[in-house]
Copies of this chain bind each other. A is one copy, B any other.
Amino acid sequence: MKISSLQKARYEYQPKLPGMLRHGISDICVKEGSETQSVADQEKIKALFPNTYGKKEITFQKGKNTSVAKKHSVGVILSGGQAPGGHNVICGLYDALKETNPDNVLYGFKNGPSGLIEDDYVVFDDAYINAYRNTGGFDIIGSGRTKLETNEQFEIAAEVCKKHGITAIVIIGGDDSNTNAAVLAEYFAAHNTGVQVIGCPKTIDGDLKNEDIECSFGFDTATKTYSELIGNIERDANSAKKYWHFIKVMGRSASHVALECALETQPNICLISEEVAAKKQSLSEIANYIADSVEARGKKGMNFGVAIIPEGVVEFVPEFGKLIAEINELLAGAKAEAFNALPTWAAKYEFIKAGLTAESFAVFDILPQSIQQQLFLERDPHGNVQVSLIESEKLFSALVKDVLAKRGYKGKFNALHHFFGYEGRCAFPSNFDSDYCYSLGYNAFMLIQYGYTGYLSKVSNLSKPATEWVAGGMPITKMMNIERRHGEDKPVIRKALVELDGAPFKYFEAHREEWSKETCYTYPGAIQYYGPAEVCDLTTRTLALEKGEEI
């Protein structure tokens, strides 16, 4: 196997643990805090989690290790989309486990939660682990999106654990996966399986955070990678002076990624889905807002710009959501056949015009034809519009072009389009994510050793140097509330959206007028793993602002 120079060099990197975990495992003790309550719907959540609800928050500190000495066999699962640092969670877990007792065993279940059900696994050893230290990707064991949520699955999982003598499972995943981890922990506790479950907060989207979890891992590296590219494109725009770049970034529901990239790169425009929803903005309003920037800049001779578009923004435009619902209704069942039978787009267009409300047709009618056709021609197996396929970066540039034409704008407006997502999910983890993930994994084993279950591995105080980080655990139920999902009330971890009165958005709001009219680009450049600390060790602007720090 041929590996790159950087990969070789990164093998040598020793991730930084929180100060309190640096004294060796025999010198880590537990400090229990108060009992916890769920963030909402306490009675309902308590009833659903009788064995794991209300447990105490805990932190680790220096002191004699009082856990019961026994051999541990632990299983680990990667769940959902890739995020930089996943490998290091496993490395930290492995190192803590082997440091405690070389006979301890770590099983890696392959290709996501289904690996546990299918009993498809590897047993890690030093050589295997060493090939993945400080690397990106989830290829160490693969990931998958199977959800563990039925009792049937839990039963099989319990059998698999019993077969291997596994007494703890670590699930590395996002809000859904950690919700399922809590349900699994409750099942295992209720059925006296003796298997603990610990979660680790993963997602590049940044929407798994709350008063306990300061950020999910991978967000730092992914946003740094996107910001590198956006900054490079800004510099190109400012050099060539002839293109507006519309850049879509990943993030279906929350706009944390877009916002962090904006804070890093100071583009002319950045849409925030949560604001679009809160202000009930229409497509025209958004297009006009962007067109204002194009015009103002054009008047100063700056026929170029950069606009960041969060992937999911159109779903947050109320009138667009209504249009989609009407289209899904219009093409439900047999009606789709009638529609499909129409020979030309012109005939289809008339069918659509007759079938939509006047209000929704007006929205439909301002869309560029390519998007119109996409809405009707590319539907999922249930006949529904595939919103995720909509090229919103092209949609907005087309709408802006129309607005400018209607205004009689005489200046130049040439748009180019980009989408950044897959480029950042498997980058080599930044030093921050390398350290944070390794600490999460190491800390997860401490929670296991001390017998906790239904906990999320928690490392906090993250805007400070690692020596000041605080390690501990938080009952997952504390982060839950009841939400309506697919027609059922479900206990779930509340997804963290961008808060419009939070410091990161406030900072953006205070500067965006200037950014839209002037050229205030900043160029972060590529992620650095070496060099001065301020270049290679700082985490996100989002976290700094949330912590009340200056940026």
A interface residues (Cβ-Cβ under 8 A, vs B) = 1-10, 81-82, 111, 135-139, 142-143, 225, 228-229, 231-233, 235-236, 238-241, 245, 264, 266, 343-346, 416, 418-419, 422-428, 520, 522-532, 534-536, 538
Contact = CB atoms under 8 A, between A and B. Distances in A.
A4 B530 contact: no
Which of A2, A240, A416, A427 has the most CB atoms of chain B within a 10 A radius of its CB?
A240
Contacts of A416: 422
19 contacts: A1-B520, A4-B522, A4-B523, A5-B535, A5-B538, A6-B525, A7-B523, A7-B525, A10-B525, A82-B239, A136-B232, A139-B238, A232-B427, A233-B423, A418-B423, A427-B526, A526-B526, A526-B529, A528-B528
A2 B266 contact: yes
A138 B239 contact: yes
A233 B427 CA distance: 8
A26 B522 CA distance: 39
Contacts of A241: 111, 142
A68 to B, nearest CB: 37
A526 B236 contact: no
A266 B3 CA distance: 10
Given A235-B139, A427-B526, A522-B3, A82 B422 contact: no
A149 B7 CA distance: 48
What is the total number of copies of this protein in its complex? 2
Given A241-B142, A530-B528, A137 B236 contact: yes
A344 B119 CA distance: 56
Nearest to A373: B370
Q: Which of A138, A142, A239, A426 has the most CB of B within 10 A?
A: A239
A225 B230 CA distance: 13
A529 B527 contact: no
Interface centre among A524, A528, A530 (most CB of B within 10 A): A528
B422 A9 contact: no
B530 A426 contact: no
Nearest to A245: B422
A232 B525 contact: no
Contact of A6 (B137, B142, B520, B535): B535
B232 A423 contact: yes
A43 B346 CA distance: 63
B236 A4 contact: no
A239 B9 CA distance: 22
B525 A428 contact: yes
Contacts of A428: 523, 525-526
Given A5-B535, A139-B238, A526 B527 contact: yes
A183 to B, nearest CB: 25
B232 A225 contact: yes
A424 B137 CA distance: 23
A425 B229 CA distance: 10
Given A225-B526, A529-B528, A529-B531, A82 B236 contact: yes
Contacts of A142: 239, 241
Nearest to A426: B235
Nearest to A344: B344
A233 to B, nearest CB: 5
Given A522-B4, A523-B7, A525-B6, A236 B530 contact: no
A40 B357 CA distance: 71
Contacts of A3: 522-523
Nearest to A430: B526
B530 A136 contact: no
Nearest to A536: B530
A225 B525 CA distance: 10
In the complex, which of the residues A3, A232, A423 has the most CB atoms of chain B within 10 Å of its own CB atom?
Answer: A232
B523 A136 contact: yes
Contacts of A524: 4-6
Given A7-B522, A233-B426, A530-B531, 13 more contacts: A2-B266, A4-B524, A5-B535, A6-B535, A7-B523, A8-B534, A82-B239, A136-B235, A137-B236, A138-B240, A232-B424, A233-B423, A343-B346
